[in-house]
Structure 1
């Protein structure tokens, strides 16, 4: 396979999807990086800082499955457009917000924007790619999002240094305009419904439930990496090693995702996703050890290796197994499951860390990931709804 992959994953439609996810992730990460500082500057508490992300995540969690169903009925473009409007209007409203409570309320708008933009773009990626290269296309889509996440923090701090929060909010509005331009240029043949919608309203896809349940289990430990690992490592005098962890992790995630985008198309989506979830369980066990430079470096490599493969491969798997008319709903269900795991895990792991230890919290994350491996393996009996279409 050429380094850049198959030409079939670089069609105009797919390139537009990659541009959408990169742009929305840069804009979102700029806000997510700076808003905690902004809330504190306005006199906000640590609890209010936490509520910023809880509100946004919960809104997205409940919205994503429904949004996936809307894409099945109406197509991607009509669903993405209101999300872009929500991003722009919320960013403009943030210019006027003067209290922490006002900013927390406006996070509802960002949650709506995130759900309405990213979910349809991922669905469109899946539906516009040939079955034989769907894993590669979705891997490229999430690679573009990872690059956006990498660019976001340095851009955020640069904007803050140059012009403060007003400049940062203005740049996010500019990204919303860029998104509008990209979506307006989507080929006309994907502006309408991607498939005939289901005859009645469905909030979740039953075909995606088993895989989504396994994802919830494996995601329980995810938030602990960013919420509690810094506290754990610094408390053990490993500040320098912690800094290296957060250098190695994103670099290896992007590298591994770029190199292995198409591996699940060749080896099988279920096989690769079970392997990736198993790798995550090992990573959480490494994090449960007393932190040292070696253990943190190994954990960064192992965690990035598992995360690079897991979600894109699961997305390809649920599309493969879903009826054609509800593939958007299936992807929305999977995406909502990710958010659910993060929300539940942040509370559960936090309680364990508070009452026992940080190491015990990571061990709990490893245990749930292992349960996820078992739950995912049990789905092997399910057959794809349609046979893969060979690439032309």
Structure 2
């Protein structure tokens, strides 16, 4: 390292940290791809190779993934604040190494569940850490844009990999071809994370040193010295914006968890081909991923609250369309609308946490928020499975629509606006 590079001061902002930010975006795309490799394939594998017919039992792998990922999010936030971001990122990718091999060689369904436990740890550690690192780098002015780019990369990769995995499954069978994608993603991510990613914790410390509270004093009680227990309580229940974000995140991922396990089975009732099912499933995260390129930056301009309320309402309407549908056209419209609603919500909720949490404990706050959000996978899988077993697949979608509408109402009533765009200077 040259003396000039060694003395170069840290700066916050997307442009000042463009190279590292772009690298983290690419790594988060690989994180999303690890989920996409299995979403189209596993529900079909459950029925065709393992003979599973009960929806609740089929959804066990989604529940195992969601619970494990939720727990891993907590450790990701805590460890990244205490030990640094990069070690947590690398450790998360080490947990991914056995996952594709277990899915390829699984002799029974419990191997699939075990693989998803490891995948949940991988996703919790890696995705949470890339979120925190990007917030560290960009500072307070561009959080929405940063989260939009992060989530667009992750869920865009879910969509592309879901579509590609569906194609490989149709051409070469359900195993092993789709899961070879995961082997490649893991090897590449370990190389990039270990050799090229730089630690960003000092950027958070720089922001903490420059931190100025809101003029209205609304965050004065959220000072730098909160304990882990206090951070958990504020993010989960006490602080209106943080707790509203946590419940909305849970419901959002409830919809995703339900769709993960249920949509391929619902679409199969219309005797669609594997390719068509893969395309339908890919439309949801594709619109979600691309939409976040717009909605994240939009929240920096117009604020967070109304975008979140509109997004949860849009998700409820989309689920109604899917519940009423019975063929490719109606379901395609519904899944695209569901993706649009999710795009309004997903990066904006993360930006809310970044707005409210003090830089000294922001990693832990992001971890707690993501605990609640990713528990939605398990809640959606279990709720969807029970309702589908008792009342049918369409009834499970109706239940999710109702829950999404209630979530939108909670945000509208309880959350305050957390981001106040800077006024444009007078000419």
Q: Are the counterparts in 1 of residues 20 and 198 from structure 2 also a CA contact under 8 Å?
A: no
Distance of 2:173 and 2:329 partners within structure 1: 40
The range that moved more, 247-256 or 335-344, is: 247-256
Alpha-carbon displacement from aligned partner over 1:41-97 (angstroms, at most 9, x marks no partner):
875645665333322222112221232122122221011111111112444566665
> What SS does the corresponding residue of 1:262 show, helix, strand or coil?
helix
Unaligned 5+ residue runs, structure 2?
1-12, 209-223, 236-241
Residue 191 of structure 2 corresponds to: 181
**Is residue 2:46 matched to residue 1:17?**
no
Partners of 2:37 and 2:181 within 8 A in 1: no
Give the equivalent residue in structure 1 for 2:77: 68
Change in Cα spacing, 1:356 to 1:189, as seen in structure 2 (3 Å) is: closer
- Note the 1:1-392 alignment, pairs <5 A: 8=15, 11-34=18-41, 43=50, 45-46=52-53, 49-91=58-100, 98-156=107-165, 165=175, 172-186=182-196, 188-190=198-200, 194-195=204-205, 200-202=227-229, 204=232, 206-207=234-235, 208-232=242-266, 235=269, 245-246=280-281, 248-291=283-326, 295-381=330-416
**TM-score, normalising length from structure 2?**
0.75
2:214 corresponds to which residue? none
TM score, norm. by length of structure 1: 0.81
Against the structure 1 CA distance between its residues 361 and 206, is the aligned structure 2 distance closer, same or farther, given a 3 Å change threshold? same
Alpha-carbon separation, structure 1, partners of 2:48 and 2:320: 37
For structure 1, list consecutive stretches of 5 or more residues without a partner in the other structure. 1-5
What is the number of residues matched between the two proteins? Answer: 384
With 180-189 and 51-60 compared, the bigger mean Cα shift is at 180-189
1:126 Cα deviation from its structure 2 partner? 1.8
- Retained in 2: the 8 A contact 1:219–1:342? yes
The DSSP-based 3-state class of the residue aligned with 1:283 is helix
Give, in whole Å, the separation in 2 of the partners of 1:35 and 1:235. 17
Cα distance change on mapping 1:127 and 1:233 into 2, 3 Å? same
Deviations 1:367-388 (A, max 9, x none): 211211122123334767xx87
Residue equivalent to 1:3:
none
Question: Mean Cα displacement is larger for which, 258-267 or 35-44?
Answer: 35-44
Conservation of the 8 A alpha-carbon contact between 2:23 and 2:197: no
Distance, in Å, in 1 between the alignment partners of 2:276 and 2:422 is 47
Q: Name the CA distance, whole Å, in 1 between partners of 2:323 and 2:307.
A: 25
